[in-house]
């Protein structure tokens, strides 16, 4: 058993900060967290020089990166390139996300995610199917021609991934509670999003098995005095999780602070909704024939519609500290521990604790990523 000791670090463990703790890694798993004086002879040391060791970031919504859009390259190589781009920003686990597309494209994308996991592509945890079973009224940048109510065969396809996690974003008004229950029973994590549903419809979907909400506030019916909508249902429910895009553009910081106060601790987590410009030199890309450009950190169509983001995960963490006033330890958990729990991976990912995957994000005092580790292996930028 090969062991490595990460030494001289300020470590965010499952129980809080530990100064100058030593994390011992063996065969891709955290073996122990101990005092430097207790390192056995012969164990290789990796000196972090007083930097901050965090659980590796987990991003449930990654449409692209490194100039690659998953819809255009639903292949193992495409997933590998997207993951490599996001590792530079601390992401050690991610779901490649397919924006609403043809059913045949969904089939190809699911096969690619399955093959990527089988091939050991670093960081890939499964797939996120964002649509096409969503509302035309709240479609955002999704292409209307792909949006529809699913039939039984399409629901079986959505649940067909053999390895890893499947996250499916759907609009509750487009999929019956019985079908949602069937998806949940099949192991699919169902999230409500791109929805114009009323409160009662969302409440019924939560009772049927909806587990969370995709990019809270965006592309969903808002909270109003006599019409709570999707946002009201999300904030009212204590059991569900909410992903949020903290880029300073998608949602006003005050609205995000309200959500964090409304939900139980641990139920709000960070996502990037990242597009190809993240980790790439070219600020533009094409989505279903329409050119989208990132300017000042905002991905927009020519008409001004938001189209994903140019956000990376370490920037989301910094924004959570700067814009929302949360301490670094909570922002880091929103990028690691809480998404792991949402995905049902809370017993193996998202914490620096013995027995967990040795996935780490190392940052300096300026909150810039200096190293990422996946399954105990340092990853090249």
- CB 183 within 8 Å of CB 168: yes
Structural domain boundaries enclosing 365: 3-54+353-378
* Arithmetic mean of pLDDT, 81-90: 98
Same domain, 368 and 246: no
Same domain, 211 and 161: yes
72 annotated active-site: no
Whether 141 is covered by a domain: the verdict is yes
CATH of the domain at 127: 3.20.20.140
Same domain, 68 and 150: yes
Same domain, 155 and 7: no
Specify the pLDDT at position 299: 93
Residue 380 burial class via C-beta count within 10 angstroms: exposed 0-12, middle 13-18, buried 19 and up: exposed
Same domain, 30 and 147: no
* Arithmetic mean of pLDDT, 289-314: 91
Residue that the structure tokens 């983001």 belong to: 309
Rounded Cα–Cα distance for residues 60 and 237 (Å): 21
Could you tell me what percent of the chain has a pLDDT over 70?
99
Whether 327 is covered by a domain: the verdict is yes
- pTM for the full model? 0.97
- The number of folded domains in the chain is 2
Where on the phi/psi map is residue 344: left (φ > 0), alpha (ψ -120 to 50), or beta?
Answer: left
Same domain, 37 and 169: no
pLDDT tens-digit map of 186-232? 999 999 999 999 999 999 999 999 999 999 999 999 999 999 999 99
Same domain, 28 and 74: no
Same domain, 327 and 221: yes
User: Of the listed 101, 114, 237, 273, which one is catalytic?
Assistant: 273
pLDDT tens-digit map of 10-55? 999 989 999 878 999 999 999 999 988 778 888 999 999 999 999 9
Specify the pLDDT at position 41: 82
pLDDT tens-digit map of 304-351? 888 999 999 999 999 999 999 999 999 999 999 999 999 999 999 999
Whether 216 is covered by a domain: the verdict is yes
189: tokens are 């994590």
Whether 348 is covered by a domain: the verdict is no
* C-alpha distance from residue 17 to each of 14, 132, 255, 340, 363 (Å): 8, 42, 29, 20, 14
Same domain, 160 and 218: yes
pLDDT tens-digit map of 346-381? 999 999 999 999 999 999 999 999 999 999 999 876
Same domain, 196 and 229: yes
Half-sphere exposure of 358 (CA within 13 A, CB side): 22
Same domain, 132 and 271: yes
């Amino acid at each position: 058993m090969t062991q490595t000791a990460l030494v001289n670090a300020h470590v965010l463990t499952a129980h809080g900060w530990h100064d100058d703790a030593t994390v011992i890694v063996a065969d891709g798993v955290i073996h122990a967290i101990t005092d430097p004086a207790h390192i056995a002879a012969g164990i290789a040391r990796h000196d972090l020089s007083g930097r901050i060791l965090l659980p590796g970031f987990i991003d449930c919504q990654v449409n692209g990166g490194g100039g690659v859009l998953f819809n255009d390259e639903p292949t193992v190589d495409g997933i590998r390139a997207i993951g490599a781009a996001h590792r530079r920003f601390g992401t050690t686990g991610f779901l490649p996300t397919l924006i609403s597309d043809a059913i045949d494209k969904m089939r190809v994308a699911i096969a690619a995610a399955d093959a990527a996991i089988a091939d050991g592509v670093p960081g890939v945890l499964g797939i996120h199917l964002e649509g096409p079973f969503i509302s035309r009224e709240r479609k955002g940048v999704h292409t209307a021609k792909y949006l529809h109510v699913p039939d039984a065969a399409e629901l079986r396809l959505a649940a067909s991934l053999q390895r890893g996690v499947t996250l499916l974003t759907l609009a509750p008004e487009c999929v019956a509670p019985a079908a949602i229950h069937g998806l949940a029973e099949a192991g699919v994590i169902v999230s409500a999003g791109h929805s114009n549903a009323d409160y009662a419809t969302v409440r019924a979907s939560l009772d049927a098995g909806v587990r969370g909400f995709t990019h809270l506030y965006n592309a969903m019916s808002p909270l109003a005095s006599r019409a709570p909508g999707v946002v009201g249902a999300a904030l009212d429910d204590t059991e569900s999780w909410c992903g949020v895009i903290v880029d300073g553009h998608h949602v006003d910081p005050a609205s995000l602070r309200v959500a964090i106060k409304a939900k139980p601790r641990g139920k709000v987590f960070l996502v990037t909704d990242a597009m190809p410009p993240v980790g790439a030199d070219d600020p533009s890309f094409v989505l279903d024939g329409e050119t989208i450009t990132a300017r000042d950190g905002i991905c927009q169509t020519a008409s001004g519609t938001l189209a994903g983001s140019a956000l990376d995960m370490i920037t989301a963490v910094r924004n959570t500290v700067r814009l929302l006033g949360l301490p670094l330890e909570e922002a880091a958990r929103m990028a690691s521990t809480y998404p792991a729990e949402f995905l049902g991976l809370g017993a193996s990912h998202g914490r620096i604790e013995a027995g967990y995957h040795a996935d780490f994000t190392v940052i300096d005092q300026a909150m810039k990523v200096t190293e990422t580790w996946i399954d105990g292996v340092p990853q090249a930028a």
